Amino acid sequence: MSADAEPTADDAEDTAEVAAAAQGARDAAGHPLVVQDLRKTFGGITAVDGASFSVEEGSLTGLIGPNGAGKSTTFNCITGVHTPTSGSVTFRGNDITGMAPHQIARQGLVRTFQIARELPDMTVLENMMLAPQGQSGERLSHAILPGLRDGVVAEEEELLERAWQQLEFFEIDHLAEEYAGNLSGGQRKLLEMARALMTDPSMVLLDEPLAGVNPTLEEKLLDRIHELRERGNTFLFVEHDMDVIMDNCEHVIVMHQGRVLAEGTPEQVTSDERVVEAYLGGDV
Report the DSSP pairing between strands 86-91 and 94-95. antiparallel
Please identify, using beta-carbon distances, which residue of 64 and 109 lies nearer to Mg ion: 64
CB of residue 11 to ligand ADP, shortest distance in Å: 50
Provide the binding-site residues for ligand ADP, judged by CB under 6 A: 42, 45, 47, 65, 67-73
Please identify, using beta-carbon distances, which residue of 40 and 71 lies nearer to Mg ion: 71
Please identify, using beta-carbon distances, which residue of 2 and 67 lies nearer to ligand ADP: 67
Cβ atoms of 245 and 252 closer than 8 Å: yes
Please identify, using beta-carbon distances, which residue of 77 and 183 lies nearer to ligand ADP: 77
CB of residue 22 to Mg ion, shortest distance in Å: 38
Cα–Cα distance between 166 and 173 in angstroms, integer?
8
70 contact, one of Mg ion, ligand ADP, none, CB 5-8 Å limit per kind: ligand ADP
Please identify, using beta-carbon distances, which residue of 118 and 207 lies nearer to ligand ADP: 207
Please identify, using beta-carbon distances, which residue of 130 and 260 lies nearer to Mg ion: 260
CA distances from 9 to 6, 17, 19, 21, 215 (A): 5, 12, 15, 18, 64
CA distances from 2 to 6, 10, 11, 12, 15 (A): 6, 12, 14, 15, 20
| Binding-site string for Mg ion from residue 56 to residue 95, where x marks contact by CB under 5 A and - marks none | ---------------xx-----------------------
65 contact, one of Mg ion, ligand ADP, none, CB 5-8 Å limit per kind: ligand ADP
123 contact, one of Mg ion, ligand ADP, none, CB 5-8 Å limit per kind: none
User: Which part of the chain contacts Mg ion (CB under 5 A), choosing from 18-26, 80-88, 108-116, 196-204?
Assistant: 108-116
Cβ atoms of 205 and 53 closer than 8 Å: no
**Residue 117 DSSP SS3:** coil
Cα–Cα distance between 182 and 64 in angstroms, integer?
31
* CB burial of residue 26 (10 Å; 0-12, 13-18, 19+): exposed
CA distances from 175 to 21, 117, 181, 231 (A): 50, 17, 11, 26
Torsion of CA 23, 26, 31, 35, to 10 degrees: 40
Cα angle for residues 197, 90, 190 (degrees, 5° grid):
20
CB of residue 68 to ligand ADP, shortest distance in Å: 4
CB of residue 47 to Mg ion, shortest distance in Å: 10
| Binding-site string for Mg ion from residue 110 to residue 129, where x marks contact by CB under 5 A and - marks none | ----x---------------
CB of residue 39 to ligand ADP, shortest distance in Å: 12
CB of residue 38 to ligand ADP, shortest distance in Å: 11
H helix or E strand, kind and range, residue 87: strand 86-91
CB of residue 233 to ligand ADP, shortest distance in Å: 22
Please identify, using beta-carbon distances, which residue of 62 and 132 lies nearer to ligand ADP: 62
Sign of torsion over alpha carbons 125, 127, 130, 135: negative
Footprint on this chain of Mg ion (rule: CB under 5 A): 71-72, 114
